[in-house]
Every structure is written in C-alpha cells, then in structure tokens.
C-alpha cells in the first residue's frame, strides 16, 4: 500500500492521551492517522508490530499505549516489563528500520520523589516503584534503539476519557459527605488534551524534531488534597475534604512525595505555551 500523505501511528487509542489525540487529528489533514489499541495491535506481539510498520511505513509513531496499572505492576511485573520496556524496544527498532520519528511518553515516577525542586531532564533517575522502573527501561530503549526519538515525561494525567483522579473524586464526592485525600504528595496535574496538543505542535512546528527527553505538565505545583478541593469547588459539590498523610492511605506501589518537573526545556525548544493547572481543570470539567 502506498500512502500519499505521511502516516502518524498512534497507540493507546482508547486511553486518555490516545483519545485526546484522536479528537484533534481532524485538524491535521496533511497527515493520515492510524489509531490502534490492544484489539487491533497488541504491543506485546513483535509480529503484529512488524506487520503494522511494514504496511503503514509511518513517518511518526506516537506511543501512548502502555501498562498503566501502577499498583498491579508491583505483582504483575512480567506484563509491565513486556509492555513498558520490551515492546518499546521493539517499536524503536522498527522506527529505526523505517525511518520513523518516535514520540514516546514516560512518567515522573522514574524519579525517587525525594527532591525538593522541580526535576530537570538530566537529573538522576531512581524509580519510586516497579511501574516507574518499567517505564525507565522503556525510555532508555526508545532512545537507544532509534536516533530519532523524543521522550516526554508527564505526570498526574487526567481527561474526560479513561479512569483518573478527577473522575474518581467527582464520583466519591457525589456519594459521600466526607472524603480523605493525601496532602503530603505534591506534583503537577496534566490535562491530556494539553499534552496531545503539545505533541502535535512538536510534529507540525518549525523548530525541528529535536531529539531527547522533555518534561511536560500543566503549570503549578499542588498536593492531591489541593487538587481534590479545586475539583469539589469547581463542580460545586458539598463533600468535606480532609487532608491525610500518605501513611494513612497505604498502596501496594509507593508514590513520590515530590514529583514536580522542570519544563523549561520543552518550552524553550518547541515554544510550547503551558497552561496553568486550574485553567485546564476548568476546561476539562466543562466537558464532563
Ligand atoms: N495516567 C497518568 O497519570 C500518567 C502519568 C505519567 C505518565 N503516563 C504515561 O502517559 C502515557 C499515556 O497514559 P494514559 O493515561 O493515556 O494511559 P491509559 O489511559 O491507561 O491508556 C493506555 C492504553 O494502552 C492500552 N494498552 C495496554 N496494554 C496494551 C497492549 N498490550 N497493547 C496495546 N495497547 C495496550 C490500554 O488498554 P487497556 O486499558 O485495555 O489496558 C489503554 O487503552 C502512558 O505512557 C503512561 O505511562 C500516564
């Protein structure tokens, strides 16, 4: 099959980020998009990956598909590794074979969370949990196996699609007069629609495909408790939100106490305009 337009392959079509890219794909008629999720192309199948690459010969591969069950990854390690690391190595090798530019998404969980100032891209990694470890192996494989690779680390992703903190809070606060939310973990929320737009700005911008690692989230550093209160107030719900320490809410996978990331590199390189988390939260909530 010969394509007249450059093809952009996007995985994780049914996830938060993949869905947001799907929603704006129509704004880019110069490209032909191919969206897939597990049913069309299982990332753990090298044969399926190869077949898609051979057929589509993509100019860009936007890798949104991932194993994102953070707590489950602590026990389901093989699957987390297979999807977040081995599959990414295969994807990157296929990108090299086909001259494909790869944009791969990673996470703030590659850091320990013991920091006190926003993490820069070249700061030492020390994953806080197994999911973070599998994602770190994935970003390394993406960069090592294909020269034309951009890795974007993001954090606290939410959207009108998929499962996320914003939806969980709204559901709980509609059901319960009082809820408890952790107040000693701080970081930056990311509205998946903003990241989707940033990715397409990189692809279509005039700054070139400047390879390497970048950090992206919305502006502002808050706790989960702050985020929950803002969601409650914006939705005009009445639930009382109590701040609690992490020790009062144990989870199978450890979470970082501090995971804010420095975003100067992506702003300066690609002239991306970052939105404040509160503005983006309101934009998202209007659609819910
Ligand atoms: N969500 C966050 O807070 C967050 C934070 C930092 C970084 N990230 C990263 O950002 C990226 C996008 O995250 P997201 O929130 O959009 O994730 P998401 O909503 O969980 O979407 C991921 C998609 O990948 C699919 N998938 C899982 N295993 C697959 C396989 N074997 N083959 C093909 N597809 C498979 C999932 O399907 P199923 O749902 O059926 O498994 C899901 O549709 C990921 O790389 C993630 O690691 C996310």
At residue 1 the predicted structure's pLDDT band, cuts being 50, 70 and 90, is: low
Strand partners, 11: 36
Residue 115: inside a domain: yes
pLDDT tens for each residue of 195-207: 999 999 999 999 9
Task: Report the separation in Å between the CA atom of 247 and the middle of ligand 1, taken as the mean of its atom positions.
Answer: 27
Task: Report the separation in Å between the CA atom of 83 and the middle of ligand 1, taken as the mean of its atom positions.
Answer: 10
Are 181 and 224 a contacting pair, CB within 8 Å? yes
SS3 of 119, please? strand
At residue 6 the predicted structure's pLDDT band, cuts being 50, 70 and 90, is: very high
Q: Is the pTM of this model over 0.75?
A: yes
Q: Which two tokens stand for residue 154?
A: 């993001």
Residue 183: inside a domain: no
Please state whether beta strands 7-11 and 60-63 pair in parallel, antiparallel, or not at all (unpaired): parallel
Ligand 1: residue of 65, 163, 185, 191 to mutate (most ligand atoms within 8 A of CB) is 65
Residue 246: inside a domain: no
Phi, psi of 138 (to 5 degrees): -65, -45
Q: What is the mean pLDDT of the chain?
A: 97
pLDDT tens for each residue of 234-250: 999 999 999 999 999 99
- In which domain, by residue range, is 34 found? 7-163+189-218+259-274
pLDDT tens for each residue of 27-73: 999 999 999 999 999 999 999 999 999 999 999 999 999 999 999 99
Ligand 1 atom at minimal distance to the Cα of residue 18: 16
- Considering only CA atoms, which of 42, 214, 77 is closest in space to residue 139? 214
Residue 244: inside a domain: no
Q: How many separate domains does the chain show?
A: 1
Residue 23: inside a domain: yes
CATH number at residue 80: 3.40.50.720
Per-residue pLDDT, 28: 98
Please state whether beta strands 212-215 and 149-154 pair in parallel, antiparallel, or not at all (unpaired): parallel
pLDDT tens for each residue of 159-215: 999 999 999 999 999 999 999 999 999 999 999 999 999 999 999 999 999 999 999
Residue 174: inside a domain: no
Contacts of 126 (CB under 8 A, 6+ apart): 111, 112
Q: For the chain, state the CA radius of gyration.
A: 19
Task: Report the separation in Å between the CA atom of 36 and the middle of ligand 1, taken as the mean of its atom positions.
Answer: 12
Residues having CB closer than 6 A to ligand 1 are: 11-12, 14-18, 37-38, 42-44, 64-68, 83, 105, 107, 135, 154-157, 162
pLDDT tens for each residue of 61-86: 999 999 999 999 999 999 999 999 99
Residue 225: inside a domain: no
Per-residue pLDDT, 2: 56
């Amino acid at each position: 099959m010969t394509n007249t337009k450059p093809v952009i392959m996007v995985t994780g079509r049914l996830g938060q980020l993949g869905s947001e890219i799907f929603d704006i794909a129509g704004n880019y008629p110069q490209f032909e998009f191919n969206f897939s999720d597990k049913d069309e192309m299982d990332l753990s199948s090298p044969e399926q990956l190869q077949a898609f690459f051979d057929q589509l010969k993509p100019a860009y591969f936007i890798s949104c598909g991932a194993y994102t069950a953070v707590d489950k990854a602590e026990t389901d390690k093989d699957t987390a590794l297979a999807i977040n690391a081995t599959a990414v190595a295969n994807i990157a090798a296929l990108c090299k074979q086909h001259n494909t530019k790869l944009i791969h998404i990673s996470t703030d969980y590659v850091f320990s969370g013991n920091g006190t100032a926003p993490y820069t891209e070249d700061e030492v990694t020390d994953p806080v949990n197994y999911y973070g470890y599998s994602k770190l192996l994935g970003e390394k494989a993406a960069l090592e196996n294909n020269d034309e690779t951009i890795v974007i680390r993001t954090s606290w992703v939410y959207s009108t699609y998929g499962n996320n903190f914003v939806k969980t809070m709204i559901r709980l606060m509609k059901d319960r007069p009082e809820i408890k939310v952790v107040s000693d973990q701080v970081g930056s929320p990311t509205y998946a629609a903003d990241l989707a737009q940033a990715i397409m700005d990189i692809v279509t911008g005039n700054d070139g495909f400047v390879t390497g690692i970048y950090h992206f989230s919305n502006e502002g550093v808050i706790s989960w408790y702050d985020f929950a209160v803002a969601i409650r107030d914006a939705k005009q719900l009445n639930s009382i939100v109590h701040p609690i320490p992490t020790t009062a809410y144990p989870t199978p996978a450890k979470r970082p106490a501090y995971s804010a990331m420095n975003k100067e590199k992506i702003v300066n390189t690609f002239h991306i305009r970052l939105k404040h988390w509160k503005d983006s939260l309101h934009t998202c909530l209007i659609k819910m």
